[in-house]
A and B are shown apart, each in its own frame.
Chain A
Amino acid sequence: MATIEQLTDVQATIGFSVNGSVASITASPLARLSRTLREELGLTGTKVGCDAGDCGACTVLLDGEPVCACLMATAQAQGCEVTTVEGLAQRGPLYEKLQKSFLIHGAAQCGACTPGMLVAATALLERNQQPTETEVMDALGGVLCRCTGYRKIIAAVLEVNDRVWGQNTPEVGHAVGDRLVRLDGQPKVNGTEIYGADEAPAGALAVRAIRCPFHRARFQFGDLEAYIAQHAGVAAILTAKDVPGENRYGVISKFADQPVFAVEEARFRGEAVAAVVGKGEAVEKLDLQNFPVSWKELPPLTSIDNALAPGAPLVHLDRKENVLVRGRVVRDDVEKALAEAAVTAEAEYETGFVEHACIEPEAGFARRVGDMVEVQACTQSPYMDRSDIAQILGIQPEAVRIIPTAVGGGFGTKLDLSVQPFVALAAWRLGQPVRMVYSRTESMISTTKRHPARMRLKAGANRDGKIVALDFHADFNTGAYSSWGPTVAARVPVHASGPYYVPHYRALTRAIHTHLVPAGAFRGFGVPQTAIAQEQLYDELADRLGMDRLEFRLLNALDDNTPTVTGQVLGEGVGIRACFEALRPRWLAARQETAAFNNNATGPLRRGVGVAGMWYGCGNTSLPNPSTMRVGLKPDGRIALHQGAIDIGQGSATVVTQICADALGCPIDRFDLVSGDTSITPDCGKTSASRQTFVSGKAAFLAGKALRREILRRAGACDCAKISFQNGQLEIQDGDRQHKITLSQLPTEHHGYVLTAEATFDPPTKPLDEDGQGIPYAVFGFGAHLAEIEVDIELGTVKVLRITAAHDVGRAINPTLIEGQIEGGVAQGIGMALMEEFFPGKGENLHDYLIPSAGDIPPVESILIEDQSPIGPFGAKGIGEQAVIPTAPAILNALHDAIGVRVHKLPATPDRVRAAILQAGIAGAQRG
């Protein structure tokens, strides 16, 4: 695909003012203003999320009015005054208040949308000091955020004038539980945060991938040497032949199957077959249509049915029937129990590909430093990147250094490699720094998605309302390569029961290969799809029994002593009942209000209420997943926390530090965070499976405790002594004895610390046997959502009016951040229920692929339940993925409550809702 900048040969001198100073640049007049600002003027605070007007990340002020810089030709700015996020501070004290308000409300998570939000909000507030909520939503409506669910952003703007924002630091020992402002927040609100595309060494070469335009094709290269010779500035073309190590990677090494460059046959549209490396501008200007490769399109497998059909071609020759893996959890005789059950219900549900749509597309650079290669890119898993890159280059992991940048949204997709192999390989071979920035389309066609699922299930219950059995069968379309397919297939059977006691159980899953984009990890590893099926089915059971749907769930909810479907008895920290009970008051009120509304309805609007529960095991399924934390005391009395838990916006950097601070007994403002750079920070595993608060947090807890013990040992003080951290010295109060340690007198170790402690935590699990029985997770998080919606039965449109979300988080280390996770999860759940479906090959952009906007998110009330986990740090569990799981099924149950129909193929877009209404022949929808 072309870039706009390459289209005009002419260069023009264009003058405009930027943030108060005059800029005069020579550029193509059609060069996007966003590009000119970022690349020519170094103002990287303006983000680029789509280059198409869809996301608003590039919003700047042009003569005071917000515009999308990506659709503004630089020549159009001639003579105008441009203000970027970096220049907002010059516009007066309002902006400082707005920044503080964003921080305190937790309105910036990953921060990729934040510059656009701040610019749009500033323009609004300059016009209108006291906007209404609707005005704020309208003004921010053009900027998409994938993390926050918008409510905290809207509140930050509405309440900007409400108080004088001061920063308060919690007292020693009280960091845990504090609504502490995120420690990495400041750069996110002043435009200085560095994401993957924001930095590259001067003169870095650029690399562009040649990608297969068909779902499946054989290919042959023409004369590559001639192509290089004919194109000035092109330094090299890389293909599979140039991979010195193994042309194969994958997040689970046993299944690693994805080549850096396809060999002879490409297995999905968007798969890379070669890459062109050269001078930035020259490579950017190439029309890759002319690249010497010829394609022979082959008939692709584009659905689960195709792939399972007898005689279907194999996507991978060694994977029979196109089955990547199977998952299985079986407990007792499910068929017999179903046959004997008083009532049964069965259903089939289907979901599509869901795109992560991180506002930051993948980007980064690499450089060779002697015999090492350094890769600076956005990632959720630096140590996994390190071993894969080492394997690809055929070098030792220690020869690879991964420097994670800020991550502008991850949600699972940035666990897999994207730009890294291309830049690392090019830099390694050419000895020069090399940079790559994915376009939105490239990101959408080549990175992982949520697995489409087809689920068939049947459940039965006794007359007294107890669930007796669930039989669950699911096929997941895992796409062309394994990615996290095995994890999904393994996790789903453990979770398909939901947080209930189900004595007779069979859950069988398969991950099926097709010739489509690989499906990987996306917030919940298949569990959100599963909950959509299981929670709707339980509603059917309750209805058949004539029971209240919430009470039915309460009756069946797990407790500390009932075994799960894998036979695990959790013993402590099973907060699901508390969650349902917390919803009861709103449930009762909402049912009444809804009934009243519907009884009086004369128009086309109907309301409904729905509830759904969830549980989610924190950490890897029956596999080790250790985290290691290092904490060091510096001679000046400050604490360095080597915190390798990558913060993708969810706030782990802050949470982990809060935990460490209280474990050590030190004020949190003494902490300096050291990032997840693999050369200086130990492995904290990947940011996935909601494991960072729990696993890395526990490691930080242990490291903090260890350092405390070490200090006390030196002072010869007892366990209960109080340490006071001061500049250059420690004072230890042990009863009436006082010790002083002068830090500068202590020797420093090689990191420059006078005292240091390191701790590793690996949650205890036990392998599952062949029936899936065992201890898959040490800790589960629980939650339940209540959705209130309004359906227009004539149009088929669904509006979510309110979500009440109760989550058992064990211990709320930072309530603001947890609410942020819940609200963001709710937004993604709304998307999954009502609008999101990705069709490979079509609509590979953010205007055909819709994600929820500010106008789609209702008020969200979060209720935090603290049923402490015996293992987690201060009792904490995870929340990251939990939050997304119950929203969609709650909405779909509310849809059924409102109009009595179920949509079996998601998302429930207006056409499908309307079709279901017509099919059901609902009165009122039928005219005449």
Chain B
Amino acid sequence: MLPKFSHVRPSSLRQAVQQLASSGSHVHAGGTDLLGCLRDGVFGAEKIVSITGIGELRGINSREDGAVRIGALTTLSEVATSPLIAQNYALLAQAAAAAASPQLRNQGTIGGNLCQRPRCWYFRGDFQCLRKGGDTCFAINGENEFHCVFGGSRCYIVHPSDTAPALVALDARAHIRGPLGMRVVPLGSFFVLPALDLARENVLRSGEIITHISLPPLAPGSISSYRKVRARGSWDFALAGLALALKLTGRRVDWSRVVLSGVAPIPWRSSETEKVLLGRDLNPRTLREAADAATRGAEPLSQNGYKVELVRGIVEESLRAIMESHPETPSERT
């Protein structure tokens, strides 16, 4: 028989953390990922702790210091349609709107979106793969067209989330409550590469809950966008995506964040690209160099070399769109 487990629905964060203390406990938010994982035997469970009764985990609000707080239980629909987010963090609104289907966005939460498990078809299928405690990554010699081209080692998953790269680009932080109290982790260091730990995709320790995400104010005049390439028109996970945030003077880049999705086991920040952009004018040459930088170090598997090309393409296309919508830098206009 399969292991049986219990289901609890605490009404306060404290109770939830207590409930989660026992091993084999899992947080149940929207359940859109959890139910699939349990059904497919991706992981087992002894206790399911539903956190939907905890009101303080919901909602989006702005704080006095200009930061915005998004409760972990806020649905992707709420994030996608919130005027506050749309005005201040267009990138995040676009990323949330690009995730899954309308139905799933009404159910799925931002906390769950960050903590969802990978979609590798070996990991999700009937394969005892490395990440599930086996001794082989089946993707290396198998069908690996959807696997990673950056950051893989021994295991070649990609991180499935669209909101994660957006939040990394926005320098967001995860506020985490656990048995030892609160801690705050920048999203940029929240995710974990396979080289560090094969069994998990983030730094959450057992018993910990993300309570909310906080977003620092973006410098006035910043622009941001999320571009996602998928294999079909309506919902689909990203083949590759780009979360981009920039501060420009004319066409000169004063600051940037370049984070790729769909190509690495974690949201893949490309500091090399940011370096190329810093202080330079957006022009065809900069675009090309930025695209080159974004693909540097890629190590494609047998069937996913096209992802390197996708990265090149979306970096160049996204930057070009921004370039074309901004006037040339004043000093250059001679």
Contact = CB atoms under 8 A, between A and B. Distances in A.
Interface residues of A, number: 71
Given A142-B234, A856-B234, A290 B1 contact: yes
Interface string A847-889: 1101011111100000000000000000000000000000000
A200 interface: no
B232 to A, nearest CB: 5
Given A53-B36, A73-B28, A853-B233, A141 B125 contact: no
A265 B147 CA distance: 34
B107 A794 contact: no
A30 B50 CA distance: 10
Interface of A: 1-4, 6-10, 12, 28-30, 32, 51-53, 56, 59, 62, 65-68, 71-73, 75-76, 78, 120, 137-139, 141-143, 213, 287, 290, 603-604, 792, 794-797, 835, 839, 841-844, 847-848, 850, 852-857, 909-912, 914-915, 918, 927-928
Contact of B309 (A6, A59, A796, A847): A796
B7 interface: yes
A910 B231 contact: yes
26 contacts: A1-B39, A3-B39, A7-B4, A7-B38, A8-B5, A10-B7, A32-B35, A53-B32, A53-B101, A59-B103, A66-B103, A72-B107, A73-B7, A76-B31, A137-B234, A139-B102, A142-B102, A795-B309, A842-B122, A842-B142, A850-B232, A853-B232, A853-B234, A854-B233, A856-B232, A914-B306
A213 B234 contact: no
Given A120-B103, A848-B121, A4 B50 contact: no
Contacts, number: 188
A143 B103 CA distance: 9
A7 B2 contact: yes
A523 B101 CA distance: 29
Nearest to B107: A67
B21 interface: no
Nearest to B97: A138
B280 to A, nearest CB: 17
Contact of B314 (A4, A53, A795, A835): A795
Nearest to B236: A850
Nearest to A794: B313
Nearest to B138: A842
Nearest to A286: B1
Per CB-CB distance, the 10 closest pairs between chain A and chain B, nearest first, are A855-B233, A142-B101, A141-B234, A794-B313, A853-B234, A911-B306, A855-B234, A856-B233, A29-B7, A9-B4
B191 interface: no
Interface in B20-52: 28, 30-32, 35-36, 38-41, 45, 48, 50, 52
B126 interface: yes
A30 B234 contact: no
B2 A287 contact: yes
Contacts of B9: 29, 75, 78
A848 B122 CA distance: 11
B102 A795 contact: no
A603 B313 CA distance: 11
B202 interface: no
A101 to B, nearest CB: 20
Contacts of A290: 1
A794 B319 CA distance: 14
Interface in B209-247: 229, 231-237, 239
A367 B5 CA distance: 36
Contacts of B48: 8, 30
B50 A141 contact: no
Contacts of A911: 145, 303-307
Contacts of A843: 121, 125, 143
B312 to A, nearest CB: 7
B272 interface: no
B299 interface: no
B90 interface: no
B309 A918 contact: yes
A610 to B, nearest CB: 20
B154 interface: no
A153 B53 CA distance: 37
A603 B317 contact: yes
B288 interface: yes
A12 B316 contact: no
Nearest to B4: A9
B273 interface: no
Question: Among B1, B39, B145, B310, which residue has the most Cβ atoms of chain A within 10 A?
Answer: B39
A400 B126 CA distance: 38
A264 to B, nearest CB: 22
B74 interface: no
A52 B142 CA distance: 24
Contacts of B36: 52-53, 71
Nearest to A911: B306
Contacts of A120: 102-103
B150 to A, nearest CB: 17
Contact of B125 (A8, A842, A852, A855): A842
Contact of B35 (A71, A139, A213): A71
A850 B145 CA distance: 14
Contacts of B313: 604, 792, 794-795
Given A51-B39, A797-B229, A603 B234 contact: no
A142 B306 CA distance: 27
A67 B320 contact: no
A918 B310 CA distance: 12
A241 to B, nearest CB: 27
A794 B5 CA distance: 49
Nearest to A124: B102
A142 B41 contact: no
B102 A141 contact: yes
Given A796-B306, A843-B121, A850-B236, A30 B231 contact: no
B161 to A, nearest CB: 15
A792 B240 CA distance: 14
A76 B28 CA distance: 10
A789 to B, nearest CB: 13
Interface in B303-334: 303-307, 309-310, 312-314, 316-317, 320
B178 to A, nearest CB: 24
B187 interface: no
A142 B145 contact: no
Contacts of B235: 141-142, 853
A839 B31 CA distance: 28
B77 interface: yes
Nearest to A856: B233
Nearest to B312: A794
B276 interface: no
B87 interface: no
